[in-house]
Amino acid sequence: MAMTSRLVFLIAFLVASSCTTEAMKKKKVTNIQFYMHDIVSGPNPTAVKVAGQLTNSTSSNWIASTFGSIYVIDDPLTATPQMNSTLMGRAQGIYAMASQQDEFSLLMTITYGFVSGRYNGSSFSVVGRNPVMNEVREMPIVGGTGIFRLASGYCLAHTYSMNEMDAVIGYNATLIHY
Ligand SMILES: *[C@@H]1O[C@H](CO)[C@@H](O)[C@H](O)[C@H]1NC(C)=O
Ligand SMILES: *[C@@H]1O[C@H](CO)[C@@H](O)[C@H](O)[C@H]1NC(C)=O
Ligand SMILES: *[C@@H]1O[C@H](CO)[C@@H](O)[C@H](O)[C@H]1NC(C)=O
Ligand SMILES: *[C@@H]1O[C@H](CO)[C@@H](O)[C@H](O)[C@H]1NC(C)=O
């Protein structure tokens, strides 16, 4: 009996002290900038269309004709807009053309994983609406791994350059994490 209650006390103490250390850790704010290269054309695309409605060339509404298309991406993330600059990471995931009218927009479900520098091995994930024709698009960061475990935050994306459907997108990500 005495043994059991001592054990219960010990477990309660360990739980309480681990909670305290978690709570005592201060949250950090990290800002990261990079450029994402989304290449649809040519022999080495980084974004491939995997689903969509049969396009109807007679349709006059371009947004409606793209509605339902799904792309899987593995886009390089670089330090400057030049493709040959330092590779910081890769954006892997799915975007879907989720708008029927008015404003062309994507649903982004993408993990941004880092492969060099101080964030090497860590990642964060974005889920959100991306009205790509807007100058700046804000998307929520819903979590992360490694340094960014338990992260929340947001990113601001703007189109740096566009060539047909190939785009270079500048990202400013703000993460709050332990
Ligand atoms: C394409 O649009 C035309 C005119 O709206 C329609 O008659 C035709 O059935 C459509 N074709 C397909 C494959 O949806
Ligand atoms: C990177 O590519 C640009 C052209 O896009 C070129 O001018 C530059 O020399 C290249 N830099 C390196 C380090 O290869
Ligand atoms: C990133 O981390 C991996 C795994 O720890 C390591 O193999 C690799 O050399 C690192 N890359 C850079 C550029 O630091
Ligand atoms: C981040 O935001 C600043 C301020 O708006 C801007 O000057 C910079 O180009 C952005 N960075 C990227 C990678 O888009």
pLDDT digits (tens, 9 = 90+) for 71-118: 999 999 999 999 999 999 999 999 999 999 889 999 999 999 999 999
More confident residue, 26 or 37: 37
Q: Distance between terminal CA atoms of the chain?
A: 40
What residues are in contact with ligand 4 under a 6 Å CB criterion? 33, 35, 158, 170-172
The protein residue whose alpha carbon is closest to atom 5 in ligand 2 is 82
More confident residue, 11 or 95: 95
For 84, the token pair is 């040959």
Q: Report the C-alpha gap between 125 and 173 in whole angstroms.
A: 11
The protein residue whose alpha carbon is closest to atom 6 in ligand 4 is 172
For 89, the token pair is 């990471």
Closest C-alpha to 150, from 128, 174, 173, 175: 175
The protein residue whose alpha carbon is closest to atom 8 in ligand 1 is 56
State percent of the chain over pLDDT 70.
84
What's the chain's average pLDDT?
90
Buried residues in 26-44 as b, exposed as e (16+ CB within 10 A): eeeebebebbbbbbeeeee
- Ligand closest to Cα of 82 equals 2
Q: pTM score > 0.85 for this model?
A: no
Would you state the torsion angle of the CA atoms of residues 47, 49, 50, 55, taken in this order, to the nearest 10 degrees? Answer: 170
Chosen CATH of 27-177 out of 3.40.50.970, 3.30.1330.40, 3.30.530.20, 2.40.480.10: 2.40.480.10
Q: What is the mean pLDDT of residues 34-41?
A: 98
For 27, the token pair is 């949250």
**Percentages helix, strand, coil for the chain, rounded to the nearest 5?**
20, 50, 35
Best of 158, 159, 168, 169 to mutate for ligand 4, by most ligand atoms within 8 A of CB?
158
Q: Looking at residue 65, what is its pLDDT?
A: 87
For 58, the token pair is 């007679």
For 34, the token pair is 């990079």
